[in-house]
Amino acid sequence: REPDAQLGFIALDWVTMGHLLSFPMILFGIFLLVLAYSKRGKT
C-alpha cells in the first residue's frame, strides 16, 4: 500500500504516518502483557 499523497513518507524514506500511529499502541500492548504476566507470577 502507498502512503497518503498529502503526507508521503515522514522519516528515513520508509516511515509513514501509519507506522508512527501504530508504534505507541504496540508498545502499550507489550507493557500490558508484561504487567499482566508479572502480577500473575506473584499470586
Top-confidence residue, 10 or 43? 10
Q: Is the dihedral of CA 34, 15, 7, 1 positive or negative?
A: negative
How many separate domains does the chain show?
1
CA–CA separation, 33 vs 26, rounded Å? Answer: 11
**13-28 residue pLDDT tens:** 767 888 888 999 999 9
pLDDT the model gives residue 4: 63
What's the predicted TM-score (pTM) here? 0.66
Domain that holds residue 41: 1-43
pLDDT the model gives residue 5: 67
CA–CA separation, 18 vs 43, rounded Å? Answer: 38
